[in-house]
Each structure stands twice: as structure tokens, then as C-alpha cells.
Structure 1
Amino acid sequence: MLHHIKYLLLKFNITQPSDNDIYDWMQYNYVNRIEYALEHGNYKTRKLAAEALGNLGAHSSIPMLFRSIDDKVQNVSIAALNALEQIGCKDELGATLIKKRFDWVREHRDKKAKQEANKGKKYNIYRWERASKKSFERVKEQLKKPIR
């Protein structure tokens, strides 16, 4: 009964469901409620909902998971990718998208790790010293002299 109330509170945007609520929805196989939480929840709720849909393995939620791949929060999109992989999206387009997204995530993590590794390094940058006014005047005078 309480999970019905939590769903209504989510619908009216009053509160977000907790881990236990989403777990209860998984037990009762309420895929539509979990999909609604994936679409309208905050980032923690969206991540939990994506993981729950992956555990349920409902093929009807594949389009919703594809939409959540491009989520603003990286953890949500990774959870959606993992869920799609758990469900076993056998579509060629889906497999290609999942592979490309995982490659992008790996490159992004490698780039961050490289930045963190190079954070403390100091680079020796050689700067050419500007010619002093004295030497500039001397060169100017030499150019005025006739060539022999």
C-alpha cells in the first residue's frame, strides 16, 4: 500500500522514491512505475530506476533506456548502458550505440586520469629574453654604416 502512495507522490512531484520503494516496485513487477521514475526522477532515482530495469530484464523498457543514455549525469547514462547490456539488446543499432558509448566513457575516464596524473608536473618553458634597448640601438647604428 505504501508503494502506491510513494508512486502518487512521485507523480505529483512531491517526493522521490527511495531504494526500498524501487525494490518493492521490482518485486511487484511494476515496470511502468520504474520507467516513470527513470524519466521524471532526480539523478539518484534515475540511476536506481535504470539499474532496476536492467535487473527486471523487461524488453519493453529498451526505448526508455535508450533515451536515458544521453542523460546529463554520467552515472545515469552508465547505469542505462549496463541495463541495456543486462537485458541483452540484440538489435544491431543498439549494440553499436552501446559499444560507442562505452568507448566514449572509457576515453573520458582515461583523459581525466591523464589530467590528474599531470596535475603536479611543472614544465620548463624557455622564454626568449627581449633584447635590451642598448643592444637594439647598437644594431640600428651598425645598419646605418655603409658596407665596405
Structure 2
Amino acid sequence: MFRPISFLLIKLKWLKPNQNTINRWKYNNESEKLRFILQHGNYKTRPLAATALAEINDRSSIPLLLLAIHDNIHHVSIAALNALEILDVDMETSKIINRKRFHWVKLFNDKKNKSPKPKKKSNIYRWERASKKSFDLVKERLNRPIR
């Protein structure tokens, strides 16, 4: 009785599913709910949903997993790639998986090999600022005799 109501509350975003809920859906083969969480869940539940879809061997979720590869959250895209590898449908998905992994490695190496920016040399003569010069001008004018 409470489970359909809880899924409705999750759809309305009043409740957030936890790991136990996702595990229960996985053991009951409720792939529709897992697909919904993969699309609309938060950053903690989307990777759990992706791995659960792979474990129940739901091949109808492959398009959603392919979309999840390009997620902004890195853990979600890694979980989606791992799920696609577990499902291992055909050579096209393997090519996509390898291309994405090589892209990540390239980005990582580019970050690592990026030359550090040269440090900005600090101005040793800080006393030559414009405000200091204007203060010196005022001081000099005050020392002049009044006409």
C-alpha cells in the first residue's frame, strides 16, 4: 500500500529514494522506476540506478544510459559507462564507451601536463602608487609660500 504512494511522492520530488529503495526495486525488477530515477534523480541516486539497471539486465534502458554518459556529474557518467559495459550489446556501444574513456584520459593528461602560469611579479615600489604621488604633490604645495 505504501510503496505506490512513496513512488508517487518521489515523482513529485517530495521524497528522495535511498539506496535501500533502489535495491528493493532492483530485486523486484522494477526497471521503470529505476529508469525514472536515472533521468530525474539527484546526483547520489543516479549512479545507483544505472548500476541497478545493468544488474537486472534491462536492455531497454540503453538509450538512457547513453544519455547519462554525458552527465555533468562524473560519478554518474562512470556508472553509466560501467552499466553499458555490463550490458555489452554490440560493437557500437563499445566504440562509444572507449571513445568516452579515452576522452577523459586525454582531459586528465592535459590538465596534468598544463604548464603552470607564471607568477605575477609583485611591484616592489608600492610607494609609487598614484595616491602616494598625489599626497606628495599636496604636501609640496603646502610647503610653498602663500601669494
TM-score, length-scaled by structure 2? 0.71
Partner of 1:59: 59
What is the rounded CA distance, in whole Å, between the counterparts of 2:56 and 2:111 in structure 1?
A: 33
Tell me the distance in 2 between the aligned counterparts of 1:98 and 1:3. Answer: 35
1:78 maps onto 2:45 in alignment: no
Counterpart Cα distance in 1 of 2:83 and 2:2: 27
Determine the structure 2 residue equivalent to 1:43: 43
Q: State the distance in 2 between where 1:106 and 1:95 align.
A: 16
The answer to whether 1:98 aligns with 2:93 is no
Deviation at 1:114, TM superposition (A): 4.6
Q: Which residue of 1 is the match for residue 87 of structure 2?
A: 87
**Number of the residue aligned with 1:4:** 4
Deviation at 1:99, TM superposition (A): 0.8
What is the CA–CA distance in structure 2 between the aligned matches of 1:20 and 1:6, rounded to whole Å? 13
Offset, 1:2? 4.5
Does the aligned pair in 2 maintain the 1:54–1:84 contact within 8 Å? yes
Q: Once the two structures are superposed, what CA deviation does each residue of 1:64-118 show, in whole Å capped at 9, x if it has no partner?
A: 111111111111111100000011121x321211110011122233344556xx7
Question: SS state of the match for residue 70, structure 1?
Answer: coil
Provide the rounded CA distance (Å) in 1 between the counterparts of 2:112 and 2:57: 33
Tell me the distance in 2 between the aligned counterparts of 1:105 and 1:20.
31
Q: Partners of 1:66 and 1:106 in 2: how far apart?
A: 19
Q: Which sections of structure 1, spanning at least 5 residues, go unmatched? A: 125-148
User: Following TM superposition, by how much is the alpha carbon of 1:6 offset from its aligned partner in structure 2, in angstroms?
Assistant: 2.9
Report the CA distance shift for 1:8/1:86 in structure 2 as closer, same or farther (over 3 A): same
Aligned in 2, Cα 1:54/1:114: closer, same or farther, shift over 3 Å? farther
Q: Which residue of 2 aligns with 1:138?
A: none
Percent identity of paired positions between Structure 1 and Structure 2: 36
| TM-score, normalised by the number of residues in structure 1 | 0.71
Aligned to 2:144: none
Gaps of 5+ in 2: 120-147
Count of residues in Structure 1 that have an aligned counterpart in Structure 2? 120
Instruction: Tell me the secondary structure at the aligned position of residue 6 of structure 1.
Output: helix
